[in-house]
Amino acid sequence: MSQARYIEAKQKWAEKQQARGFRPRAVASSDRLPPGQKLTTSFPVLDLGVQPEIPLAEWRLSVGGLVERPTTLTWDEFNALPQVEDTSDFHCVTTWSRYDCRWSGVAFTKLYELAQPKPEARFVYFTSFDGYSTNVPLAACLDDDVLVATRFDGAPLTREHGGPARVIIPKLYAWKGAKFVSSIAFLADDKPGFWELRGYSDTADPWKEERYQDPSSPPVPLFPNPEV
> Residue 217 domain-assigned?
no
pLDDT band for 186, please (50, 70, 90 cuts): very high
Output the average pLDDT for the chain. Answer: 86
> Residue 219 domain-assigned?
no
Domain containing 134 — which CATH number? 3.90.420.10
Specify burial of residue 38 (Cβ count, 10 A radius: 0-12, 13-18, 19+).
Answer: exposed
* Residue 181 near residue 189, CB atoms below 8 Å: no
pLDDT tens figures, 210-228? 998 865 554 444 333 322 2
54 closest CA partner among 186, 169, 155, 157: 157
Q: What is the mean pLDDT of residues 114-133?
A: 97
Domain count for the chain: 1
What is the distance between the alpha carbons of residues 60 and 129, in angstroms, rounded to a whole number? 10
> Residue 213 domain-assigned?
no
> Residue 95 domain-assigned?
yes
| pLDDT at position 43 | 77
| pLDDT at position 61 | 98
pLDDT tens figures, 86-119? 999 999 998 999 999 999 999 999 999 999 999 9
Q: What is the mean pLDDT of residues 68-92?
A: 97
> Residue 44 domain-assigned?
yes
Q: What stretches of 22-93 show up as alpha helix (H) in DSSP?
A: 75-80
> Residue 31 domain-assigned?
yes
> Residue 155 domain-assigned?
yes
